[in-house]
Structure 1
């Protein structure tokens, strides 16, 4: 043993120094030629090795890491760039499935045998059938769009049902989405008060028409755009508000109220008018299934009062964020009328196409992969409209039916939960999902990260509610 610890054994090998110098020269040369992408890749490789080993020991780390990554994804896109960072979402989901298969004997696969699993397979199957759509949309466009409309859903929901089986997992999920959303609000405040980073400024320069209105910045933080930022902030604001009224310690409720305040500021700074509906619908759903008549009446009166102030007064118009929010209730708003005209044009086009124009035929994917086709020339401005255009009335009815079925089932599950703390947590997630779903009528929200992943994990946790509630049922029996 002593000879292993001798000074000669610890002395650097002669080849290490020249190899180190050569590696430094190569990295420096690559960085000079390709910018910070090289540094980013080296950091990613340094993290990927240990993370991959840990993932095969604890596959749940894959979903935890994915939640964090989906929030911070666009920091890499803007500040580093150079590669398609979105593909890491696909890679992480697939790698997590490989880790699960490697440890298959540790999991109870019967958890996948429920109606959530069935509707997930149903929607994936419809997307596969769309490959034969006679409209002839591009196969590459189908793949790019299907990733967000069906693939992440069909990979993520079963993983969550298998991996997240404890109340501690639910608590961690809530802490992650609340903490990262508050971080997003703080970054939004930084953009408003201190200015933009180089990557953020480059994004604004490319999107001035939509993010700089009347000289006012529509804050987007580290999300894909201001629309997604505002809607996502409203989504988690609903979660924070419901939790803040729950049976938790006083310091926890105060922290949640502070978080709700920051998220409200973030929502307003985004200038996203559809976020108002996410907030209103989310709170309404929470009140309806809370079994608290007093809270329902008082909350309803408060909501009506806020609606009346926005709709019938000009109070607060000197504040741009409030003025922008107020325009969401104006039926004469120019943006609203443009959207309605686009929907009328789509109605005429789709009247003879019950299965739509094909997955990836409209929106950004349509522009890139189906240029020259009619649908690629019309902005959907709404995820509901986008589903209708791509899948036709048949697919839209199927998709909306699935959404409403999942929402109704979630409400029913929450209604029957006995444990008060668990009930409030699942109620908060259900209300947030409802708000995000309705908000998606005005913006593409529920199909963009991080909102999409939050919704998918919400479904898995709420459907697991009865099993998580069993200890409380046994204790009271």
Structure 2
């Protein structure tokens, strides 16, 4: 196995130095499937493979630097990601005194990956062909994730998946005897949110000005993705659909579509809120509880936020990176925040960076989303505009869904958001005469 992997790495590096964009495509695939290796093979932390890919790609880019347009990095998205990385780096001296090892683990997803991935998109994916390739890759990988989820639901679990449940995953992934499907993602929350965001992406693309057979395939895929969201049992994924749909409808610039879309969305919410139709299906019943303000887990989360708020009242810069969540339990057991579950990426940012850092982060995301909407609004090519709307709605859905779960900071959602935002900023370079 070592010899085979070594030989494949040599071949990969040869191709990488001929065309570094191959490395970014390989990284995209890896970010979707490395959970399979972690569960079925184990032995090493496969998440480190992301850094290995990024290191190799950046080495190739630096060596071949004359081939790339480095001026393309002079944009607001890259600048803001750099500012956020610097803020994250400075958190190492947070006066709350969180563990350096916890900081090192947390900064990877919070600050390092975006500032390493986004510039690569501007340098390596600067063509319409690369845009289409990326869309095909992520939709295909999400479809494979759906198939694996269906396998878990109707056929059974692999040895690695069963071990994941036995070693503690069963507490959150088997409720009332019903499996919350997680496919090859880290958990059901990540799987459900991803399936919801790709449902919306496929629907937006399906109503775009493309060949009929492509639109048919996308509609079928959207139906399967939606079912994958349901069997994940992830209630927060509903808001990825709602918020993402709002962005998609708004960006179409079509009054009829806006009215029809809002009507469908309101009818769907009314169906969930005011009827009991479909309660015989556990998946529909669980999705319906997302709109119940008296739902037990929602109240637990609200109480946790109150506790964190009281603790942070005298700590405007938070408790430091890695002080809460998984890395808090492992490296900061002596810190109070490590005993409280964040249950949300927004809350996690608030706890780690304090109200000062959270305000900067939230305003930064809102500014990026606002500029993306402005860019999309001015795109003339209808086909390109629908692709950007699909990407924007996906990013918006993942961001707002992260209020309920840690989604935006985990793979593959983290990579999808980074690459999609970069493509939106790149899209004016792909814009040509309006399609007839």
Name 2:227's counterpart in structure 1: 265
Name 2:119's counterpart in structure 1: 158
Aligned partners of 2:6 and 2:203: how far apart in 1? 39
Shift of 1:326: 0.5
Name 2:18's counterpart in structure 1: 57
Structure label with greater radius of gyration: 1
Shift of 1:429: 0.2
Name 1:343's counterpart in structure 2: 305
Name 1:174's counterpart in structure 2: 135
Name 2:404's counterpart in structure 1: 442
Q: Secondary structure at the match of 1:316?
A: coil
Does the 8 Å CA contact 2:89/2:107 hold for their aligned counterparts? Answer: no
Name 1:407's counterpart in structure 2: 369
Match for 1:203 among 137, 158, 164?
164
Match for 1:245 among 191, 207, 213?
207
Aligned partners of 1:369 and 1:472: how far apart in 2? 55
User: 1:298-337 to 2 correspondence within 5 Å?
Assistant: 298-337=260-299
Q: Secondary structure at the match of 1:174?
A: helix
- Alignment RMSD (CA, Å): 1.0
Q: Secondary structure at the match of 1:472?
A: coil
Aligned partners of 1:383 and 1:228: how far apart in 2? 12
Shift of 1:42: 4.0
Matched, 1:96 2:57: yes
Name 1:29's counterpart in structure 2: none
Match for 1:127 among 56, 70, 88?
88
Shift of 1:53: 1.1
Matched, 1:109 2:70: yes
User: 1:381-396 to 2 correspondence within 5 Å?
Assistant: 381-396=343-358
Matched, 1:145 2:106: yes
Aligned partners of 2:244 and 2:230: how far apart in 1? 17
Shift of 1:91: 1.1
Aligned partners of 1:344 and 1:294: how far apart in 2? 43
Match for 2:251 among 289, 299, 303?
289
Q: Secondary structure at the match of 1:120?
A: helix
Residue segments in structure 2 that go unaligned for 5+ positions in a row: none
Q: Secondary structure at the match of 1:459?
A: helix
Shift of 1:131: 1.2
Name 1:188's counterpart in structure 2: 149
Shift of 1:364: 0.2
Name 1:66's counterpart in structure 2: 27
Match for 1:416 among 378, 382, 390?
378
Deviations 1:23-45 (A, max 9, x none): xxxxxxxxxxxxxxxx3x44422
Name 2:44's counterpart in structure 1: 83
Aligned partners of 1:472 and 1:360: how far apart in 2? 49
Give the TM-score of the pair, scaled to structure 2: 0.98
Shift of 1:57: 1.0
Aligned partners of 1:44 and 1:426: how far apart in 2? 37
Aligned partners of 1:389 and 1:170: how far apart in 2? 36
Deviations 1:329-358 (A, max 9, x none): 111111000000000000000010010000
Aligned partners of 2:427 and 2:22: how far apart in 1? 21
Q: Secondary structure at the match of 1:306?
A: helix
Q: Secondary structure at the match of 2:343?
A: coil
Name 2:217's counterpart in structure 1: 255
Q: Secondary structure at the match of 1:84?
A: coil
Aligned partners of 1:325 and 1:193: how far apart in 2? 20
Shift of 1:284: 0.9
Does the 8 Å CA contact 2:324/2:339 hold for their aligned counterparts? Answer: yes
Residue segments in structure 1 that go unaligned for 5+ positions in a row: 1-38
Aligned partners of 2:192 and 2:8: how far apart in 1? 31
Name 2:429's counterpart in structure 1: 467
Give the TM-score of the pair, scaled to structure 1: 0.90
State the number of aligned residues. 435
Name 1:429's counterpart in structure 2: 391
Q: Secondary structure at the match of 2:253?
A: coil
